[in-house]
Amino acid sequence: MSSKQIKINQLSFQYQDKLIFKNLDFTINQGDFALLTGPSGCGKSTLLKLIAGLEPTSTSKITTGSLTQPFTNWGMVFQDPNRQFTMATPREELIFALENKLIDRVTAQKIIDEVSHKTNISHLLDRPFLHLSGGEKQRVALAVLIAMQSDLFLLDEPFANCDSHNRNFLLNCLDSLHQEGKTILISDHNFANYEKIDPKIFAIKNQRIQTTPLPSQEEVVTNFSLPHTKQESVYSFNSFSLSFPEKELLSSTNLKIYSGKATLLTGENGSGKTSLFKALSKVITYQGELLFKDKEVKKWRRRPYLSKVGQIFQNPDDQFLNVTVKEELDFSLKYNQNPSLNESKLQSILTKLNLENMDEQVVYSLSGGQKRKLQILVMLMAYPDVLLLDEPFSGLDQKSVSEVIFLLKNYFLDENHSLIVISHQLDQIQNLCDYHLVLKDQQLFYAK
């Protein structure tokens, strides 16, 4: 049997009037493990969607060249895992997928048991997706693709919300699938641990693609100071605890988060970091006492409280209120509370973030990294007293991470404005954060 090939020949592609690719030429052979790299917004997600047949749409087109994709049994993991699922729990999602393949219940249960063990989701099967972390959802998404016996795996930033342990676990899963002869094409900004797989590397830059060696990735070492307890606090936790019916997330805790500082919050996927943010945002209930500026959060009325405490969501699409980039920015400027961000300053920032000349682009059609930068900019104009950032560097290349940190330090942080940052991407985090909170084994504590 002849080997299958994904062949892209002199392909040019544009979205609306903007050229995304020009004369792309490359081939993926059956059984390859290929890694797509490139700066945020260069077209990695678009290329994966082209291969998957999800592009072009009514607003985009292939102008020249051709694309041949002979795999009929393929699957894709999207950058946003919430777009992946139609059912309420992982078990129901797997059953639904296998029923569509006309697989009988006995065989389906056997497959579910096998893939659940392989991707370490057995304990998650009956939990609602609403209670799963981003990293846990990514494991479920991969399990579905394995259950469907896909031959081609297209993965768009699949580790963006994963801690280092889960990232390595998933990479080992993909390496195992590669050893079985599966074809894998993955986009990623983090190059750690790929050397053991030795993938083909394709770099997208300036609308073209070329092969390149694997970029080096230095080991990240962090060293934070412990806070001085006499500082003014913005939050005080007193006998505070947090739980779901099926799981305790945080046992009785007493500590403070300090005003005018940036505090990093880390913990393994599923440890409860996003749930803690939901408690701080009055979305879910908690036990014990939580003071914001010396007043119990439960006693704050929702509207005045949320004008002082803003959140950058893990999924940027949840943040936007308008259709186009211009509409979103105009709306934010109309209600702008940030004295450092006037209209002329905004234009220079848009240029710095590579978001200029995108006025008429639909916000939901932006790349994951572009959405993230726009989302952060919008919240800087809202200028709450406290900003909760849930994986703000997800989907961003290192240059973009530097630019976002510059914005947060120069247009937000001061003695009256505080940041709490959830991030698994620690490469440059010490350039932003003063203190480090760890959520581990239902305990919340400061660490160096």
What stretches in the chain show pLDDT beneath 70?
1-2
Residue 14 region, left (φ>0) first, then alpha (ψ -120 to 50), else beta?
Answer: beta
| Predicted pLDDT of residue 1 | 45
pLDDT of residue 2: 61
pLDDT at 246: 74
Question: d(Cα 179, Cα 197) in Å, to the nearest integer?
Answer: 10
Report pLDDT for 73: 93
Does residue 237 contact residue 404 with C-beta atoms inside 8 Å? no
The Cα–Cα gap between 343 and 332 comes to 11
Task: List CB contacts of 55: < 8 A, sequence separation 6 or more.
Answer: 13, 46, 49
Give the rounded percent of residues in the chain with a pLDDT score beyond 70: 100
> Domains of the chain by range and CATH?
5-212 (3.40.50.300), 233-447 (3.40.50.300)
Cβ neighbors of 394 (< 8 A, separation 6 or more) are 157, 160, 161, 314, 368, 372, 425
- pLDDT tens-place string over residues 184-200: 999 998 888 899 899 99
Instruction: Give the integer Cα–Cα distance in Å for 140 and 34.
Output: 22
Closest CA to 230 of 253, 264, 258: 258
- The first and second tokens of residue 147, run together, are 């259950």
Please work out, in degrees rounded to the nearest 5, the angle formed at the alpha carbon of residue 105 by the alpha carbons of 99 and 107. Answer: 100
